[in-house]
Amino acid sequence: MHVVYILRCNDGTLYTGAAKDLARRLTQHAAGRASRYTRARLPVELLWSRRVRTWGDALATEHWIKTLPREKKDALVAGAPLRRPARRRARIARGRRPEAGAPGRLRGA
């Protein structure tokens, strides 16, 4: 089970993380062994968590939440729906090499 979660630290700041085992991760946070950020701001309180299908989805959702302003994180914790944009996969051109002298190619590399 993959989970994205938000904690409130002792100083009022929010910490967003992802875990494969939420109970174990919360125990690590409480013991000061999960992250340097929360270690300096104990105790922490779980405010919000959401299960996701894959570890990749957990990491993408964690990153997206970390980019939100505080007001939107507070709304999410208060019950606002999670409306993360759909993930886009990067298109990779396979089997094509840039031609000699093509723009963007480093000379002498």
Whether residue 92 lies inside any domain: the answer is no
The pLDDT value given to residue 87: 62
The domain total for the chain is: 1
Better pLDDT: 68 or 93: 68
Mean pLDDT of 15-44: 97
DSSP 11: T
Whether residue 63 lies inside any domain: the answer is yes
Are the CB atoms for 21 and 9 separated by under 8 Å?
A: no
Are the CB atoms for 70 and 14 separated by under 8 Å?
A: yes
Average pLDDT, the chain: 87
For the stretch 74-99, pLDDT in tens is 999 999 988 877 766 655 556 665 56
The pLDDT value given to residue 54: 96
Neighbouring C-beta atoms of residue 52, cutoff 10 Å: 19
Whether residue 9 lies inside any domain: the answer is yes
Nearest-CA neighbor of 73 among 23, 2, 7? 7
Better pLDDT: 20 or 100: 20
The HSE-up count of residue 17 (CA atoms within 13 Å, CB side) is 24
Better pLDDT: 84 or 54: 54
The pLDDT value given to residue 97: 59
Question: Domain range holding 21?
Answer: 2-78
- The answer to whether the bond into 43 is cis (omega within 30° of 0) is yes
Whether residue 22 lies inside any domain: the answer is yes
Whether residue 17 lies inside any domain: the answer is yes
pTM equals 0.77
Question: Any idea what the CATH number is for the domain that residue 73 is in?
Answer: 3.40.1440.10
Whether residue 96 lies inside any domain: the answer is no
